[in-house]
Structure 1
Amino acid sequence: MKKRVVITGLGAITPLGTGTEKFWGGLCKGENGIGIITRFDVTNSKAKLAAEVKDFEAED
């Protein structure tokens, strides 16, 4: 028996923005979402760049 799947919506939480419109718009503009890390101190870290999700808090 084949199982069926129904997609009822689409969402995205990405460094380019939250929501499919911001995400797709960023992709179409050639944006990549990578930048200097701002969420924590990177003084003692080799990594200085990341793709942070800036407009989303997990509590949302």
Structure 2
Amino acid sequence: MKRRVVVTGLGAVTSVGNNVQDMWEAIKAGKNGIDYITLFDTSDMKVKIAGEVKNLNPEDYLDKRDVKRLDRTIILGLIAAQEAY
């Protein structure tokens, strides 16, 4: 069975840009979002590098109360969904 899909919006929160435009410009410029992890202590871990979302204040997009109670992955998904909407 064939199904058609319609993309009605785009949203992105990534290690190379916190919105679609910034992400796309970084990709076109060949930028790499991989760097040393800074969000938590990695001294006891084998892996020290990752693609972190940086320079993003969730309270610019979401209610302060929601930011406190939600997991970071949910917060990033909600911000990307808001951009797509």
Same fold (TM over 0.5): yes
Number of equivalences: 60
Aligned equivalent of 1:10: 10
- Calculate the aligned-residue CA RMSD, in Å: 2.0
Quick one: percent identity of the two aligned structures? 45
When you count strand as a share of all residues, which structure comes out higher? 1
Secondary structure at 2:24 match in 1: helix
User: Is 1:24 the equivalent of 2:36?
Assistant: no
Question: Could you tell me which amino acid in structure 1 is paired with residue 49 of structure 2?
Answer: L
When you count helix as a share of all residues, which structure comes out higher? 2
Give structure 1 regions of 4+ aligned residues with deviation exceeding 6 angstroms: none
The gaps in structure 1 that reach 5 residues or longer are: none
The gaps in structure 2 that reach 5 residues or longer are: 59-74, 80-85
Q: Map Cα deviations across residues 11-43 of structure 1 (whole Å, 9 max, x no partner).
A: 111101111111011101111100010000011
Q: In structure 2, do the counterparts of structure 1 residues 46 and 11 end up closer, same or farther at CA, with 3 Å as the change threshold?
A: same
Which protein has greater RCO, CA pairs closer than 8 Å, 6+ apart?
2
